[in-house]
């Protein structure tokens, strides 16, 4: 059992220690403002936590597959530049000094020193086969070493390192890291906040929570920069965005959500606030602004840019960096870029949400909340549809994790019940004896997990990654010529991954890893089994897409009280047929490859087909029924909460 424990411990090491490796940036050269902030923006900060966890689950699952493969085929590591983990001297400090020591160390028993037969033919008191019975044939040192190599705690080798970087980059791209936030920030840069500072003669009516001194500065800077810049309007828009974001976000005049998530951006806020203060100081010094002045005494011209200091002293480094208006405008432009990135991050992490920004009933009343409401409405108008895409329940609330947990738990529970009865009848029909309850339970649970749970997680991961990357086509919204290739791709990938697990487990059990004949026979016998799991996963995917369509268009897929029951019956029929078909193919493979090949199925085969159909139909009904009820409950809760908010408003 030591090899089993070591294998599981290595998998735990990968799950818990690979996140730090996943969180390394793979987006070098992703834009000026991203490069300036790359030190404080790790990948897990560029998307919502649930999206990052989904991407990490894909990354960790891939590492676990590689881990299982390298543990099973450790002898190929030297061929691809890795260490030789199959050497018997691995981890040893010295070689045994005698044959007796070698036998005692490596076999676990001391051979007899007397007798007429050679020691290797004598039967020890406790046979070695009893000590290793139940093992999987993988050295514990191999498992732990491979796990440490994969998570970077042991020296790696070039091929594995490049593959890990490619997988990390692929997981980041599927999660939209950093493309989604960058695209949102670039979209914001094409908009303007449109703050009207008024004129000196006209008193400002609505301050929008912005202090009077900042309004004075906006007017003052605008007058001074008008003759010195080639694009004064862009400079004015940048200043409006800087002052508005400084007051509303950095100075926290507007109340936002998710205060815990906001704390991870505290360093970024401090750096931006410091840069804004430096820019304001440079502008004040450039224009000669002093607080309280109603109008500038003199507007400098462009010719003043090249004049040396009046007292003949050398310019300080700060003055040298901001000596021209173009330099100041460039600093303001970069600062506005970073503030747009901050706003996009806050929308992504649901720190800025619609309920905190939408205009309220105080807009048309002279109350203490008027300026707060006007400021919220102004920011909402600037962000526009960016908030709408974040709050859309269909693309973000995909329910993938909770659906997979419910489905897997249901499958495991039903498999345990089935293993007790009528699993004993199925076992007796197949092996001519009822078998042990624990052995039957282990066999049914492991088979159900590889056949049902693995295809389910693959389908849900592909769907969720496609939604986050805006590449998923809802099955019910597009023409069948568009949905069919996507459906086939998801089906084939889920089946292939599940088959890889099933065949791998069968290889370990059969211990005929290198024999092509065994590989072919094992594949023909086991490959049809996961078909039922892939079909069930497709049924759950169709249910999720139908629920997404119903959220945006309630006239389609109306969920009535018996909808969950109808979905369950449909799943039972479809998955039951798939289970019977898969068992039929397995029985045909068994009949053709038997020691005495049979040309047709016998009564035993037909009985196993019936049991497979019943098992698949029951699992399909219960899983889809529970998922449908779960989604209906979430939908009803959301509707009640929305109605309650409308009543309160």
Q: Give the position of tokens 């299982």.
A: 68
Kindly tell me the burial class for residue 359, based on how many C-beta atoms sit within 10 Å of its own C-beta (0-12, 13-18, 19 or more).
middle
* pLDDT score of 559: 58
> How does the average pLDDT of the chain come out, rounded?
76
Q: How many CB atoms lie within 10 A of CB 398?
A: 23
Residue 479, pLDDT > 70, answer yes
* pLDDT score of 563: 82
Residue that wins the pLDDT comparison between 438 and 34: 438
Residue 611, pLDDT > 90, answer yes
Q: Give the position of tokens 């003052």.
A: 220
Mean pLDDT of 11-16: 89
Buried b (16+ CB within 10 A) or exposed e, 432-444: eeebeeeebbebb
* pLDDT score of 204: 52
Residue that wins the pLDDT comparison between 134 and 335: 335
Mean pLDDT of 475-492: 89
Q: How many CB atoms lie within 10 A of CB 18?
A: 23
Helices (H), 75-231: 99-107, 128-132, 140-150, 158-174, 179-189, 212-225
Mean pLDDT of 103-120: 45
* pLDDT score of 81: 73
* pLDDT score of 577: 94
Query: What is the rounded distance in angstroms from the CA atom of residue 233 to the CA atom of residue 571?
Result: 61
* pLDDT score of 574: 94
Residue 72 — very low, low, confident or very high, per pLDDT cuts 50/70/90?
A: confident
The tens digit of pLDDT for each residue in 209-224 reads 788 888 888 888 888 8
Handedness of CA 315, 320, 325, 328 (dihedral sign): negative
- Is the pTM for the entire model greater than 0.85? no
The tens digit of pLDDT for each residue in 413-465 reads 999 999 888 888 888 888 788 777 777 887 888 888 888 988 888 888 888 77
* pLDDT score of 158: 82
Kindly tell me the burial class for residue 368, based on how many C-beta atoms sit within 10 Å of its own C-beta (0-12, 13-18, 19 or more).
exposed
Of 612, 592, 446, 444, which Cα lies nearest the Cα of 528? 612
Q: Give the position of tokens 């309630």.
A: 554
Give the largest Cα separation in the chain, rounded. Answer: 119
Residue 605, pLDDT > 70, answer yes
Mean pLDDT of 256-280: 88
* pLDDT score of 41: 81
Query: What is the rounded distance in angstroms from the CA atom of residue 528 to the CA atom of residue 585?
Result: 6
Residue 510 — very low, low, confident or very high, per pLDDT cuts 50/70/90?
A: low
* pLDDT score of 520: 66
Residue 78, pLDDT > 60, answer yes
Residue that wins the pLDDT comparison between 524 and 234: 234
Residue 81 near residue 61 (C-beta atoms within 8 A): no
The tens digit of pLDDT for each residue in 532-544 reads 999 999 999 888 8
Contacts of 214 (CB under 8 A, 6+ apart): 243, 246, 247
Residue that wins the pLDDT comparison between 253 and 503: 253
Residue 91, pLDDT > 90, answer no
Residue 645 — very low, low, confident or very high, per pLDDT cuts 50/70/90?
A: low
Ranked by mean pLDDT, the top range of 83-97, 242-256, 386-400 is 242-256
Mean pLDDT of 149-163: 81
Mean pLDDT of 500-511: 66
Mean pLDDT of 83-89: 63
Handedness of CA 112, 115, 118, 122 (dihedral sign): negative
Residue 391 — very low, low, confident or very high, per pLDDT cuts 50/70/90?
A: very low
Least confident of 27-41, 109-123, 189-203, 355-369: 109-123
CA distances from 43 to 189, 439, 470, 551, 578 (A): 22, 44, 19, 31, 41
Least confident of 268-277, 288-297, 377-386, 574-583: 288-297
Of 496, 486, 465, which Cα lies nearest the Cα of 170? 465
Mean pLDDT of 546-568: 75
């Amino acid at each position: 059992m030591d090899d089993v424990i070591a294998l599981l411990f290595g998998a735990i090491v990968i799950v818990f220690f690979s996140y730090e490796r996943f969180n390394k940036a793979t987006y070098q050269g992703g834009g000026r403002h991203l490069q300036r902030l790359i030190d404080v923006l790790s990948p897990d900060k560029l998307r919502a936590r649930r999206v990052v966890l989904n991407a990490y689950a894909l990354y960790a699952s891939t590492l676990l597959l590689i881990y299982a493969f390298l543990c099973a085929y450790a002898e190929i590591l030297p061929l691809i530049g890795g260490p030789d983990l199959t050497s018997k001297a691995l981890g040893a400090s010295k070689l045994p000094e005698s044959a007796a020591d070698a036998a005692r160390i490596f076999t676990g028993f001391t051979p007899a020193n007397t007798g007429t037969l050679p020691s290797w033919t004598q039967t020890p008191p406790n046979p070695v086969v009893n000590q290793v019975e139940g093992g999987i044939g993988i050295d514990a040192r191999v498992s732990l070493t491979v796990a440490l190599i994969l998570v970077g705690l042991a020296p790696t080798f070039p091929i594995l390192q490049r593959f890990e970087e490619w997988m990390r980059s692929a997981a980041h791209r599927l999660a939209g890291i950093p493309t989604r936030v960058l695209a949102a920030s670039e979209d914001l840069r094409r908009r303007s906040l449109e703050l009207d500072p008024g004129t000196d003669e006209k008193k400002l009516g609505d301050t929008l929570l912005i202090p009077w001194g900042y309004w004075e500065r906006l007017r003052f800077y605008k007058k001074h920069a008008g003759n010195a810049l080639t694009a004064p309007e862009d400079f004015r828009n940048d200043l409006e965005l800087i002052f508005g974001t400084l007051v509303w976000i950095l100075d926290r005049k507007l109340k936002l959500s998710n205060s815990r998530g906001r704390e991870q951006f505290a360093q970024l806020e401090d750096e931006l606030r410091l840069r804004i203060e430096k820019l304001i100081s440079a502008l004040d010094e450039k224009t000669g602004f002093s607080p309280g002045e109603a109008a500038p005494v003199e507007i400098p011209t462009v010719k003043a840019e090249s004049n040396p200091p009046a007292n003949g002293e050398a310019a300080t480094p700060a003055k040298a960096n901001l000596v021209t208006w173009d330099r100041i405008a460039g600093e303001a432009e970069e600062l506005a870029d970073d503030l747009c990135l901050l706003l996009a991050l806050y929308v992504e992490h649901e720190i800025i949400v619609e309920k905190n920004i939408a205009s309220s009933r105080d807009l048309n009343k002279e109350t203490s909340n008027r300026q707060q409401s006007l400021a919220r409405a102004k920011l909402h108008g600037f962000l526009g549809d960016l908030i709408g895409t974040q709050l859309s329940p269909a693309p973000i609330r995909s329910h993938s994790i909770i659906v997979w947990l419910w489905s897997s738990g249901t499958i495991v529970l039903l498999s345990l019940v089935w293993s007790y009865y009528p699993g004993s009848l199925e076992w007796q029909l197949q092996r001519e004896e009822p078998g042990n309850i624990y052995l039957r339970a282990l066999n049914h649970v492991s088979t159900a997990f590889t056949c049902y749970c693995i295809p389910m997680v693959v389908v849900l991961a592909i769907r969720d990654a496609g939604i986050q990357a805006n590449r998923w086509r809802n099955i019910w919204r597009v023409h069948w010529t568009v949905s069919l290739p996507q459906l086939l791709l998801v089906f084939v990938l889920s089946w292939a991954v599940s088959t890889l697990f099933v065949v791998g487990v069968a290889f370990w059990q059969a211990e005929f890893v290198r024999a092509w004949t065994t590989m072919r026979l094992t594949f023909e016998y086991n490959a049809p089994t996961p078909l039922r799991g892939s079909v069930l996963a497709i049924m759950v995917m169709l249910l999720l897409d139908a629920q997404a369509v119903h959220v945006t268009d309630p006239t389609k897929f109306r969920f009535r009280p018996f909808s969950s029951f109808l979905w369950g019956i449909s799943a039972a029929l479809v998955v039951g047929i798939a289970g019977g078909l898969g068992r039929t193919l397995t029985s045909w493979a068994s009949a053709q490859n038997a020691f005495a090949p049979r040309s047709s199925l016998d009564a035993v085969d037909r009985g196993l087909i019936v049991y497979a159909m019943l098992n698949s139909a029951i699992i399909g009904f219960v899983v889809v029924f529970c998922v449908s009820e779960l989604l209906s409950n979430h939908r009803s809760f959301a509707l009640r909460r929305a109605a309650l908010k409308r009543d309160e408003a």
